Structure 1
């Protein structure tokens, strides 16, 4: 590394090694937090893709390979900030920390380029699989071309970084005069500009294709949020490019390089999180509902059974629980609300399709409703007859219940002359 001109060094203030100005511990806090979030998110993604959906593919391999240089890049910056005084001004850095600091700088440059290119290849591989399924030929070709450009850029950068100085140790050796190295400033700016441009292309390229898939509103909202996070990560790349340019015009390299590392760490970690969130949906769909099911059910079935009846006429009140994990009927189902007076409560019930595996048996006992007039509509209601069902064989095993898409239907009956609580008919059915 070539030292600044003597006139610049003479203009620096007196070194302060005891109580210098620093950036505090911001880099350590943010770096460790991002590394923890990335580790958890990626672990959930790999678990879901490997064991839940059985869809482990090339994009998962790429993002797993990108995780290691990303974590190494972040941890190196945290260690250098705390131990090698990266969070100080250049004139306040002790001389014994300059050479190891430059060695870690070169290592971090290679780690960053390796991580960012593997991450982009992972996103593009996933996008290629999506476009191939939709037969979007032009978009598929564009994705393949972009993957080839990114791969060539990565190979060229690694070769230039290794051969930028002859020998390579010249990079971290301090010298007052020119060294046998390429124009490092031009190499640094060109690399950051190319990385930033490809970042934005990878984020913007799939927007049009995804919006044309006619997705449900909920899924579309999630995708928009993910694109927003991707744009935030790409914006961090713009900031990184700016601070890299500042390194070429400002000799306070230690103070500015910390900003470059900080923006790069945010860009890499947010990129992995953004690319992994869609693949974590099966995990949360399988496990998070079980965590909240007991609380939701306990709050939902707490009611006052001694309140006034909904109507003064005989009617059927139907409650449908479409939860895929319900394995029993509630003891006290929630009555209908009183705000739908305009609805016809005497409409025939919808047909019930019973699963052939539930073991329902028809009982000969029959019941009938007498003819009466509705107090709401004044129209006569015709006689109804029903068949009571009971499950004498028990329910299937829990594992089989979770595999069935079923609805639990509970029917309750109250007559005009009944003054007591609603009587529950033990009807249980499963539908596919």
Structure 2
């Protein structure tokens, strides 16, 4: 293997490490949701599918490297070129599908956390954009050339301007990332919480900002590959950033769900009182606002009226566990919630 070939191997190694970290994070999330919170939601199944696609992307990158990714195209045999470009073509589908499933998982989690009417409408609108974008990018990638085989045979064909298509897709991808980050912020600001609690809660939802950074960094690699005459040589940076982007997205979507696990494993570092009530509410994965609660309830402020006329807002248990301080800070929190209240709110939700 020439020194150029190491560029392809580096892409495989980085992709393998990132997907390994994503796999560990998803497994921890599933353990938390199934054994501690005791509630697997549709968003958890979406993230499982997103991880499967991310693993598929890593496999595609490995196949590309096996057939010459990182080498100059004129040094490869026609069979190697064809196989490498086939894997590249397949990688586009699993890449876009993984992104779409990850975004959908986050939005579905929002819908379970906050039930104000206008916020839910906004979530469904963003979800519609994400679904439409995902469908378009997958079909656009499949039929980038007509006939389809021209993508890897390099025969004369009618092909979409890849520079325009990929950068349009990247722009929409970044915009939807920002929209997903911004969505819950107005609702969180309207909650009657201490500033420290609001900042902590905003930080939880803003973790996705790392994905935006990676998406922006990926743009530079697209310039080289979009209209390249030497795609096998120019592809490793784009392949690397694409894999890192999908896996960082999966990891960021899982991090807010891990607090119950951290609390269970490291109670001295992540203290959590009010365990009985939290465990009861965890059976359905959410808790309802109780107007009689003095210490733990979260009544909507007047500013929240612009989002909904509803008098309640439900906050998912795992998110509220992030908001909880130490037992000394809030000694009366058990007065706000009881196991029976949580159970009755669950039955009303059903």
Q: Provide the TM-score with structure 2 as the length reference.
A: 0.69
Match of 1:273 in 2: 251
Q: Distance in 2 between matches of 1:90 and 1:211?
A: 54
CA contact (8 A) 2:142 2:148 kept: yes
Q: How many residues align?
A: 275
Q: Structure 1 residues 139, 84: CA separation in 2 closer, same or farther (over 3 Å shift)?
A: same
Flag as ranges the 4+ runs of structure 1 deviating above 6 A. Answer: none
2:93 corresponds to 1:110: yes
5 Å-filtered alignment, 1:375-390, equals: none
CA positional deviation for 1:63:
1.1
Name the one with the larger helix percent: 2
Q: Distance in 2 between matches of 1:67 and 1:204?
A: 24
Q: Structure 1 residues 20, 242: CA separation in 2 closer, same or farther (over 3 Å shift)?
A: closer
1:74 corresponds to which of 58, 64, 73: 58
Match of 1:233 in 2: 211
Secondary structure of the structure 2 residue equivalent to 1:251: coil
CA positional deviation for 1:92:
4.4
Q: Distance in 2 between matches of 1:216 and 1:269?
A: 33
Match of 2:10 in 1: 26
Q: Distance in 1 between matches of 2:20 and 2:247?
A: 10
Match of 1:196 in 2: 174
Q: Structure 1 residues 211, 242: CA separation in 2 closer, same or farther (over 3 Å shift)?
A: farther
1:128 corresponds to which of 111, 127, 149: 111
Name the one with the larger strand percent: 1
Match of 2:136 in 1: 156
Q: Provide the TM-score with structure 1 as the length reference.
A: 0.57
Secondary structure of the structure 1 residue equivalent to 2:149: helix
Highest RCO, 1 vs 2 (Cα 8 Å, sep ≥ 6): 2
Match of 2:79 in 1: 96
2:49 corresponds to 1:65: yes
1:141 corresponds to which of 103, 121, 133: 121
CA positional deviation for 1:22:
3.9
2:145 corresponds to which of 165, 170, 175: 165
CA positional deviation for 1:61:
1.6
Q: State the Cα deviation string for residues 119-166 of structure 1 (Å, max 9, x = none).
A: 10110111122220xx2x322211111101111222223333333333
5 Å-filtered alignment, 1:30-69, equals: 30-69=14-53
Q: Distance in 2 between matches of 1:204 and 1:253?
A: 36
CA positional deviation for 1:31:
1.8
Secondary structure of the structure 1 residue equivalent to 2:68: coil
Match of 1:119 in 2: 102
CA positional deviation for 1:204:
2.6
Q: Which stretch shifts more, 188-197 or 84-93?
A: 84-93
Q: State the Cα deviation string for residues 66-117 of structure 1 (Å, max 9, x = none).
A: 1110121123214433x12323344444543210111011111010111101
CA contact (8 A) 2:61 2:239 kept: yes
Q: Distance in 1 between matches of 2:123 and 2:12?
A: 36
Q: Unpaired runs of 5+ in structure 2?
A: 276-326, 329-350
Secondary structure of the structure 1 residue equivalent to 2:266: helix
CA contact (8 A) 1:124 1:147 kept: yes
Q: Structure 1 residues 154, 249: CA separation in 2 closer, same or farther (over 3 Å shift)?
A: closer
Q: Unpaired runs of 5+ in structure 1?
A: 1-16, 293-321, 325-405, 408-432
Q: State the Cα deviation string for residues 211-247 of structure 1 (Å, max 9, x = none).
A: 4435567765655554564222112112223322333
Q: Distance in 2 between matches of 1:181 and 1:142?
A: 36
CA contact (8 A) 2:208 2:249 kept: yes
Secondary structure of the structure 2 residue equivalent to 1:168: coil
Q: Distance in 1 between matches of 2:112 and 2:182?
A: 17
